[in-house]
Structure 1
């Protein structure tokens, strides 16, 4: 197979046709999604055919309820990185719209799965629905598979070793509650995000903590507070502490993710960096004066450095995503 391909439905190459396909939104690519994707990969390797994930952009909830946008755990580019790291051959992104949703289950199967992808096998989760009015069910997919010559596997609900059901909503809740370690247990990898460093008020420089500032999408529900973080800059992993919030000691303004990168002095303005919140240290606080804030920030930095220096919790999927990190300080 050629290298991993991330394409839309109208750009599917012959090398991705005739494969075993996993279908779903896959926001988060959590352990339940990985069970679906892994099943397709296993069948593909057994049969010597491509392993392909099929997903939808934008998220269907953003189409049907635009006034309540979804906190996206994995924007399309990050979702593709995860699918690639899991070993599949490609990710096909289907543009989702009201018109697309209005087609019948039969039309979806015939136009997309048969005509465009020429699938041999498909894997879906137990709660997968498709087509107008969500009338397409796993059982309906099996019936259509018999008609069109492809086999179907339906994956049961996934639970953790502790008996917790895994869902994208649950992961979002854990991040909103300030427990990233629990989110990691559900995801099977450490959640991260990318962002472009913007100009700030440069106040951090004056108090000894210059920061790289990023604005996150308004729908992000990450708990406001201070985190120990890993930061990737130009392919190199760094450690740091970050504050996500409104700076109540100063202006209580719009939320900004402000990261103090340990032992780094380069210019980051305009650069896209990756941030992985590893541990929640404390909630955002308002201090009576700047001196009190600096004292607390020094404690935060010391705690964060100690925690990250001793960190050994990368998962197998983390290592596939960040193959160079294990050799870096």
Structure 2
């Protein structure tokens, strides 16, 4: 699947993407419910370009900048997941004070009609847009009908536990259930980032790690995970990851993700990788010395290999 084109300005949409059918929403995580909205948009007008209108940063990041990071997917990863589900382009509208103040009627007329010449829209039942969330699925239906634009309002996708939502997935990850989160996403949850230099202690201990800062990603349960790693060349390799602040070594001010990749000796510094958390093995712990820590890491690696044996 070709990666979708990422656009940021509704005033400069290429002609090839005008007259599109559009899925609307924040779509953090691109879970199974989001994919259902995208598929509904495509099914309504399969000959039209298929696009997604979303917001960057997430409106919650704009209105509550001091909240802890909560994102399941940052824009490149979100766009890649939407592309894998069939989107041709993603219009990531810059969510700033000007967009926040735009009335729902103006958003429909200026962005969806004038900017994109939309022929069909699809959204979830809880979609809201415009100043102070002044528009919802009902008002969108009224506007679309008056403009001769089709609309599909997609009911929630759910399972025995209830509707699938980004909030529910975040909670599962924070509680240490990556497998259950992955089932709702339809794929493993992945933290993407650039490999940075650490203090090289892992190499001294015999367990060299690829280190990522979590940045704006949600912080899942701290501890050790069986993981797979997506490399820049497309390979997927196995390893063991630790998410935490290294209490044995005095503690870090910021949470880091450290991954030891099995049977691997290549330079990844400065390259982007994706770490996919597969199974939670144990909580973060403080050990009484480096030898005890080394023994624990060895056991973690053995446990991770066992957990990943079927992949």
**Partner of residue 30, structure 2:** 29
Deviation at 1:6, TM superposition (A): 1.7
Query: Greater CA deviation, 133-142 or 16-25?
Result: 133-142
Given that 2:190 and 2:274 are in contact with CA atoms closer than 8 Å, whether structure 1 keeps it comes out as: yes
User: What 5-or-longer segments of structure 1 have no aligned partner?
Assistant: 312-329
Alpha-carbon distance between aligned partners in 1 of 2:167 and 2:72, rounded to the nearest angstrom: 10
Structure 1 pair 69/147, CA: closer, same or farther in 2 (3 Å)?
Answer: farther
**Partner of residue 291, structure 2:** 291
Given that 2:74 and 2:217 are in contact with CA atoms closer than 8 Å, whether structure 1 keeps it comes out as: no
Alpha-carbon distance between aligned partners in 2 of 1:275 and 1:117, rounded to the nearest angstrom: 35
Task: Provide the TM-score with structure 1 as the length reference.
Answer: 0.89
Given that 1:214 and 1:256 are in contact with CA atoms closer than 8 Å, whether structure 2 keeps it comes out as: yes
> How big is each residue's C-alpha offset from its partner over 1:153-198, in whole Å with a ceiling of 9 and x where there is no partner?
11112212x2422111111111111110110121111110211122
**Partner of residue 169, structure 2:** 171
**Partner of residue 219, structure 2:** 221
Alpha-carbon distance between aligned partners in 2 of 1:63 and 1:11, rounded to the nearest angstrom: 24
**Partner of residue 98, structure 2:** 99
Query: Greater CA deviation, 204-213 or 22-31?
Result: 204-213
**Corresponding residue SS for 1:152:** strand
Given that 1:61 and 1:69 are in contact with CA atoms closer than 8 Å, whether structure 2 keeps it comes out as: no
**Partner of residue 278, structure 1:** 278
Counterpart mapping for 1:110-189 below 5 A = 110-160=109-159, 162-189=160-187
Alpha-carbon distance between aligned partners in 2 of 1:14 and 1:190, rounded to the nearest angstrom: 35
Deviation at 1:267, TM superposition (A): 2.1
| Structure 2 residue 210 is matched with structure 1 residue 209 | no
Alpha-carbon distance between aligned partners in 2 of 1:5 and 1:218, rounded to the nearest angstrom: 23
Structure 1 pair 244/163, CA: closer, same or farther in 2 (3 Å)?
Answer: closer
**Corresponding residue SS for 2:129:** coil
Alpha-carbon distance between aligned partners in 2 of 1:43 and 1:98, rounded to the nearest angstrom: 33
How many residue pairs were aligned? 307
**Corresponding residue SS for 2:189:** coil
Alpha-carbon distance between aligned partners in 1 of 2:151 and 2:205, rounded to the nearest angstrom: 60
Query: Greater CA deviation, 51-60 or 283-292?
Result: 283-292
Given that 1:61 and 1:70 are in contact with CA atoms closer than 8 Å, whether structure 2 keeps it comes out as: no
Deviation at 1:3, TM superposition (A): 7.1
**Corresponding residue SS for 1:223:** coil
**Corresponding residue SS for 1:309:** coil
**Corresponding residue SS for 2:48:** coil
Alpha-carbon distance between aligned partners in 2 of 1:86 and 1:241, rounded to the nearest angstrom: 29
User: What 5-or-longer segments of structure 2 have no aligned partner?
Assistant: none
Given that 1:230 and 1:276 are in contact with CA atoms closer than 8 Å, whether structure 2 keeps it comes out as: yes
**Corresponding residue SS for 2:197:** coil
When the two chains are superposed, the root-mean-square deviation of aligned CA atoms in Å is 1.6
Query: Greater CA deviation, 227-236 or 104-113?
Result: 227-236
**Corresponding residue SS for 2:241:** strand
Deviation at 1:69, TM superposition (A): 4.9
Alpha-carbon distance between aligned partners in 2 of 1:29 and 1:268, rounded to the nearest angstrom: 27
> How big is each residue's C-alpha offset from its partner over 1:133-154, in whole Å with a ceiling of 9 and x where there is no partner?
2221212111111221101111
